[in-house]
Amino acid sequence: MSTAVLPHQPPLRQRARVPRSDRLDSLTGLRFLAAFAVFTHHFTGASPSGGVAHSPVLFPYSTMGVNGVGFFFVLSGFLLAWGHRTGTRARVFYRRRAARILPLHLAATVPCIWVFHVWGGVPWDLPSFLASLVLLQTWLPDAVPMFPGNGVSWTLSVEAFFYLLFPLVIRGAYRLRTRTLFVVAGAGLTGMWGVNWWAAAHLSPSRCEWLMRLPVTRLPEFALGLALALAVGRGLRIPLRPGVLAAVFAAYTVVYVHRGAWLPDPVAGQLSWSVRPLVALFSVLVIVAYVQRERDGWRGWLCTPLMVRLGAWSYAFYLLHQTVNRLILDHWGRPAPTNVSVFTLLGVATVTVALSWAAYRYVEEPARRAWTRRQST
């Protein structure tokens, strides 16, 4: 893979466009790590009595894995802006996005119906289920269940909103100075923190959770990724080391999960309300760090063939993992908490990866190619 080299400080007019680059393998590898973090959170549970198999050595730190979805939103904004070609028609963009996400989303919903609703007996209603099929479920505060259809597809509902907006905002974003982009992104993260704080004080837990999934409230994460893609494309360099970022985030995770016991209530509350914008900031710094390294010719372990393949299968992995988890839980039940569950987690992850490979090879990619050919004729 060749690396793109930016010209040295071109004039502003020339820098207004993000150069199209070869694929960034490190970001593909990061996609799998984010999906695996979400899987780990769901597998170990949000509480000692939840999940498929509780592992004391992982819990409660594994609960931070839920924020892997925030990483996806930031990465989505970054990649869409990074690979955008000026002059691309909105309808072409929409068709490509639909071809990428819809076929596997619909296919993955089929086993989910059986596992959760037919066999598992989870209550549901038809309007909520239909909304999940067309990715409108996050707009419904009273959906039944709270995550209708394939529960994890709520993030696709958020992404669909981002896709709808992208052709409408990218041209205006090109015209903004880098400093203005940062101001807008910073204001969005601040607003996100403020909304989280207000919701915790004024809404019921169920309404608060719904608000945290509402596409509008997740827009700052997408905007942050978009802004940094434009800035890096214009030549911005930030001295970042992925290892240092990982160490800082690990320390933050330890403090965050123990905030209730270690910190005064007002400080613990602020950590709760600021976690999403802070994870978004960490996510974009990690993305930029790896983009800079790869474009400089450094190809680390995230660029290995295994990680790139896992990253390519990560969408299928994400869509299938909760169905596999629920199937195991209903069939074998929840074992007693033990650290042996770490090996169970790895075994289930391996099975899910194998299913993801099959879904990618026989559903996702053939459907995408067929959809693309049909739209081009």
Question: Please, are residues 101 and 152 in contact by the beta-carbon 8 Å criterion?
Answer: no
Give CA separation, 123 vs 116, 118, 149, 326, 351, in Å. 9, 9, 11, 15, 28
- 8-state DSSP, 364: I
Question: Please, are residues 333 and 23 in contact by the beta-carbon 8 Å criterion?
Answer: no
* CA end-to-end span of the chain: 31
Structure tokens at 197: 């704080």
Nearest-angstrom CA–CA distance, 326 and 42: 10
Structure tokens at 276: 């999403």
Rg of the chain over all Cα atoms, to the nearest angstrom: 21
Give CA separation, 262 vs 9, 250, 267, 273, in Å. 48, 16, 10, 17
The b/e string for 51-66 (b: 16+ C-beta within 10 A; e otherwise) is bbbbbeebbbbbbbbb
Q: Among residues 377, 371, 373, 310, which one has the least CA distance to residue 103? A: 371
Nearest-angstrom CA–CA distance, 354 and 282: 30
Question: Please, are residues 137 and 160 in contact by the beta-carbon 8 Å criterion?
Answer: no
Domain ranges of the chain: 14-376
Written as tens digits, the pLDDT of the chain (377 aa) is 433 333 343 343 333 344 445 579 999 999 999 999 999 999 999 888 889 998 999 999 999 999 999 999 999 999 999 999 888 899 999 999 999 999 999 999 999 999 999 988 899 999 999 999 999 999 999 999 999 999 999 999 999 999 999 999 999 999 999 999 999 999 999 999 999 999 999 999 999 999 999 999 999 999 999 999 999 999 999 999 999 999 999 999 999 999 999 999 999 999 999 999 999 999 999 999 999 999 999 989 999 999 999 999 999 999 999 999 999 999 888 888 899 999 999 999 999 999 999 999 999 999 888 877 766 55
Exposed/middle/buried for residue 307 (C-beta within 10 Å: 0-12, 13-18, 19+)? buried
Q: Which residue has tokens 């016991």?
A: 261
Nearest-angstrom CA–CA distance, 276 and 274: 6
Nearest-angstrom CA–CA distance, 189 and 333: 41
- CA 89 to chain centroid, in Å, comes to 26
CA atoms within 13 A on the CB side of 194: 7
Nearest-angstrom CA–CA distance, 75 and 188: 16
Structure tokens at 318: 């994400």
Structure tokens at 29: 């590898």
Interhelix angle 314-332/305-312, nearest 10 degrees: 70
- pLDDT at position 173 is 96
Question: Please, are residues 68 and 37 in contact by the beta-carbon 8 Å criterion?
Answer: yes
